[in-house]
Structure 1
Amino acid sequence: MAEKIAAAINQLAQFCGPKDLPALTQTALQQTYGYTQADVFVLFGGSILAGGDLLAQAIQAKVAKKYIIVGGAGHTTPRLRQQMAPYLPNQSLEQLSEAELFSAYLQQKYQLTVDYLETKSTNCGNNITYLLALLAQQQLPHQTMILAQDASMQRRMAAGLHKYAPEVQIINYATYQVQVQTKADQLVFDQMPLGLWSMSEYITLLLGEIPRLRNDPNGYGPKGQNFIAPVSVPAAVQTAFETLAAEFPDRIRQANSAYASDSN
């Protein structure tokens, strides 16, 4: 049974956390899209710490013309502050937004900076609308954008951008990809990116995504809350969700109204 659960987790993860490039390099961009730099690279603050290392990699590889970190305070922020603390020992983190935390991490570890921070958004919906407002305010070209979000939320983030800016070419690059395996009948990760969720947290995040991604009265698509562009959930993914939900019925995460807006 553990193998079946691991396969279901990996099926959901593959769907929720796409990467549209084989590597985060100018060569991969050229071979896949026909250009060496996207207009904008965006890291979203909902990511685990490994997102900060990925951002450094992106800057060093010069895969975009502008770099932005997006994220105010939301349901993942207290955990992020806690995990950032050892890497930012001389700073008070309690009042820092997710964008400010990742910016400080980038400076402390790599001596790198980004072009802009968006620090007011509280959820995946206004992550996008506030990002677009920033791009408009600064008059930044953004026909092509690389989006980097936590693997559990990558597809939803892209669907949010597609709703509000359908003309933008979106390149997905989830901040990590892991496989769940079984060892002595226990679920384990094949690798441990920096700041990775516990297995329980990871399963909860993945289970919470599928109801949100569905384009039905209870989902976030046009037939429901209308927060994101329509997403088609393949039958194999739906089956994996049902398998996992039957095993962990108490882990289907509900939206937190404390961080709600009209574009959650």
Structure 2
Amino acid sequence: MKPTLADDINTLAAFCTLRDIPALTQANLQKAYNFPQADAFVLFGGTILAGIEPLVTAMKNQVAKKYLIVGGQGHTTDALRDKIRQAYPMIATDKSEAEMFNDILYLKLGQTADYLEVQSTNCGNNITNLLKLLTKNKLPKKSLILSQDATMQRRMSATLEKFAPQTTIINYASYTIQTKIENRKLQFDQSLLGMWEMEQYITLLLGEISRLQNTPSGYGPLGKNFIAPVFIPEDVLAAFHRVAQAFPNKIRTANSAYAKELAE
């Protein structure tokens, strides 16, 4: 049976959205990694507003020794600011992603993160600046829980793998979502606070698959060498080509305005 467009979008999402444990609990960490706490939990500011929920859960369940939020300003920041103005009008939006998410965290939990990184502009220097912050503050990085937007989780993981290959990476994408066809339209299966518009979501997924490829045009070692090599299964590549045909000109290219150390 031929996959529907929604099936293909979900195939791309399933590949990009990594969660290495079923829930953020000490018991799950102990079972999977033989320790109850990671050295740090890191939320990246490129996610949607609902993406703060794993950080809240992580802090409640004490799954890490330190909690960090990473993010300056990048291609998703203006959209984030618009969503914050609607959902949290009491929060100032003339700040970095990390500072705005930290303000939301305080509203929700009455606590703030241990450290903020506010200069990074893309997935590459999200990671390099994170590592500099950890080193500067003499914080261990043997094990890190990474939580990024579902569309960008696999690339974030591959970037850390390149720059800190000895670190145990525990992926926990900041949300999971499915796409369905209802009334002849593509729709999400649930409502998440601050969720991307459908075409923007598709644009992000297409852009990720093109970046993850280990080819001369991709970000792998055979291309720009920004990330560790990622194997993309044939069914994912086939879904990518079908979605790209359905949405021509929707493959997001890197914005040079945010390419300081590494391309976006």
TM-score under structure 2 length normalisation: 0.96
- 1:223 maps to which residue? 222
- 1:117 maps to which residue? 116
Q: Give per-residue Cα distances to partners, 1:65-96, cap 9 Å, x unaligned.
A: 000000001111111111112444334312x0
- 2:193 maps to which residue? 194
Q: CA deviation at 1:32?
A: 1.5
Q: Distance in 2 between matches of 1:243 and 1:88?
A: 38
Q: Distance in 2 between matches of 1:144 and 1:254?
A: 32
Q: CA deviation at 1:165?
A: 0.3
**Any residues of structure 2 matched to 1:73-152 within 5 Å, and which?**
73-94=73-94, 96-152=95-151
8 Å Cα contact 2:69-2:116 kept in structure 1: yes
- 1:35 maps to which residue? 35
8 Å Cα contact 2:70-2:118 kept in structure 1: yes
**RMSD (Å), alpha carbons:** 1.4
Instruction: Please give the secondary structure, in 2, of the residue aligned with 1:249.
Output: coil
- 1:56 maps to which residue? 56
Instruction: Please give the secondary structure, in 2, of the residue aligned with 1:145.
Output: strand
Q: Distance in 1 between matches of 2:10 and 2:86?
A: 30
Identity of aligned residues (%): 55
Which amino acid in 2 is paired with 1:25? Answer: T
Aligned length: 263
**Any residues of structure 2 matched to 1:12-27 within 5 Å, and which?**
12-27=12-27
- 1:243 maps to which residue? 242
Q: Distance in 1 between matches of 2:189 and 2:87?
A: 24
CA gap 1:112/1:2 in 2 versus in 1, 3 angstroms: farther
Q: CA deviation at 1:39?
A: 0.6
Q: Distance in 1 between matches of 2:38 and 2:193?
A: 26
Q: Distance in 2 between matches of 1:18 and 1:158?
A: 9
Q: Distance in 1 between matches of 2:220 and 2:107?
A: 39
State which drifts further: 141-150 or 2-11: 2-11
Which amino acid in 1 is paired with 2:165? Answer: P
8 Å Cα contact 2:96-2:118 kept in structure 1: yes
Q: Distance in 2 between matches of 1:230 and 1:129?
A: 18
Unmatched runs of 5 consecutive residues or more in structure 2: none
8 Å Cα contact 1:41-1:64 kept in structure 2: yes
